[in-house]
Structure 1
Amino acid sequence: MELTNERKLKSELQLKKLGIPINENLPLTELDSDVNVRTKEEIIDRIIALTIVSAKGMGASNGEIDEFIEVFKAFDLFTDEEKIFIEKKSPKQREFIQYSWKIECIWVLLWSINIIQELGIPTNTCDVDLVYETVLSSTKEDLIKKTSLRGTNEILDSLDFTYRSHWADRDAQLNGSQIPSNFNEGVIYERHYTFNWLVNYMEEEWDAVSTDT
């Protein structure tokens, strides 16, 4: 319990320095020993799938998507909802927007396997070109060989900060106020979603991950 309380206090101090409101009554995150982080192979499979669906979300042609799927032998890596999107010849605009945001999830997952060194504060969207260059110029085997999984403690530290940031964002929305530091609500949401999947929060699979605050 002391470790999780220390993590909470650390996150709250970071948020205070940024001028972000905190809620001292939010619960503690789990102990490191109680968390079952996804394996490196699971994470890389998810990176590949998300890279392809986000590329379609950002306007890649159906031919390009088919090529990516073939190169990575990726069709079995998609969730049920992702398969529906991938197979649509003319998705709706809201679907393009929804899946284009998944680039932010890939950023977190690349960080979790030590390709991205710093997540940064969730104010700006990630480096899209770097994400696509990193993944699409590699094979699955390349990614497995050149990466290592971050420690559970570091992952939970970032999850805790993101979780408390997400509360501040939602609280501001409810009260019609603006969050200081120009936090990006889309970035915060996608990060929280991804971290909860990473740590098997409530044992939920990708299409069903919740982001309670």
Structure 2
Amino acid sequence: MNASWSRTALIAVNLPTKILLIATLAFTLLPMGAYGMESAEARKIKTEKYLKSKKVPFNKDLPLIEDAKSVKIRSAQDVARRAIVLYNITALGFGIEKQKVVETLKKSGVWDSMAPSEKEFVEAAKPTKQQTINATWRVEALWTLLWALGKVESLDFPIAPCDPQRIHGLMPNPEEAKGFIASAKLRNIEAILDETDKIYRIHWAVRDAQLNKKTVPAKLDSGVVVERHYALNWLIWYADEWDEITTDT
């Protein structure tokens, strides 16, 4: 709770009802930043300053994302389940035996949490080359969700892929999956929205360069950008299902 509001509340407790009502109304009408929430416009301005410092071009006309008052966020438990699914999907993509992946998904209790495209990949007698490539890139989406769960300290400027080996020690074995899910906690919503706004505007710069046949700015890795954007858009409920997520810019 904001310190100044705490003091106001304590003072107002013994005041007449009319004065208390005025105090409550004054709090309600304060700008969001006054009690710990940032407006979408303020976040956009902050992101643009960050991008300027990184020499990343940005589109001033790109729409605002939702703010903390209006956005809908996935539950920590849903994020933890999705992380376990992605861990196994990427493992299969990197060559782990299919039967082991199937057993792990089932023992971890997340078999039914897979998206249709993921089940198709896992159950395919011979996955296509593109399915396998897509699965290996999902490690970047997984890394992003592990950050959201507080398992990763920070999301670096997206110029290089994460190290998949660092993920192994962060993920539960099948026997630990239930506890991993039950104890999951998400980062502060403001931090999640900050990263979402950043990657949304960074992705615009990548797409703009690609569409206009220019060099992608600031050595950005387009694959990392896409996967991070995808994971964060899922996290803020840009669409209902994992397979339905888009990364509009």
Give the TM-score category using the shorter length. over 0.9
Which range moves more in the overlay, 104-113 or 62-71?
62-71
- Displacement of 1:136 in angstroms is 4.2
**Please, which of 154, 164, 182 is the counterpart of residue 219 of structure 2?**
182
2:51 paired with 1:34: no
Which range moves more in the overlay, 136-145 or 12-21?
136-145
Classify the secondary structure of the residue corresponding to 2:39: helix
1:169 aligned residue = 206
2:20 aligned residue = none
2:142 paired with 1:103: no
TM-score (norm 2): 0.81
- Displacement of 1:66 in angstroms is 2.5
1:68 aligned residue = 104
Aligned residues: 212
Which range moves more in the overlay, 168-177 or 140-149?
140-149
**Please, which of 18, 21, 32 is the counterpart of residue 54 of structure 2?**
18
Alignment of 1:1-213 (within 5 A): 3-137=39-173, 139-144=176-181, 147-201=184-238, 203-213=239-249
Instruction: Tell me: higher relative CO, structure 1 or 2? Use CA pairs within 8 A at least 6 residues apart.
Output: 1
- Displacement of 1:145 in angstroms is 5.6
Classify the secondary structure of the residue corresponding to 1:34: coil
C-alpha distance in 2, partners of 1:28/1:94? Answer: 33
Cα deviation code 1:182-212 (max 9, x no counterpart): 11000100111111110111x3310010111
- Displacement of 1:133 in angstroms is 2.8
Classify the secondary structure of the residue corresponding to 1:41: helix
C-alpha distance in 2, partners of 1:145/1:75? Answer: 17
Query: Which residue identity does 1:187 align to in structure 2?
Result: V
Cα deviation code 1:123-180 (max 9, x no counterpart): 1111201213321447223423654211111101100000000000000001111122
Q: CA RMSD for the aligned pairs?
A: 1.6
Which residues of structure 1 form unaligned runs of 5+?
Answer: none
Identity among equivalent pairs (%): 35
C-alpha distance in 2, partners of 1:188/1:208? Answer: 18
- Displacement of 1:90 in angstroms is 1.3
Which residues of structure 2 form unaligned runs of 5+?
Answer: 1-31, 33-37
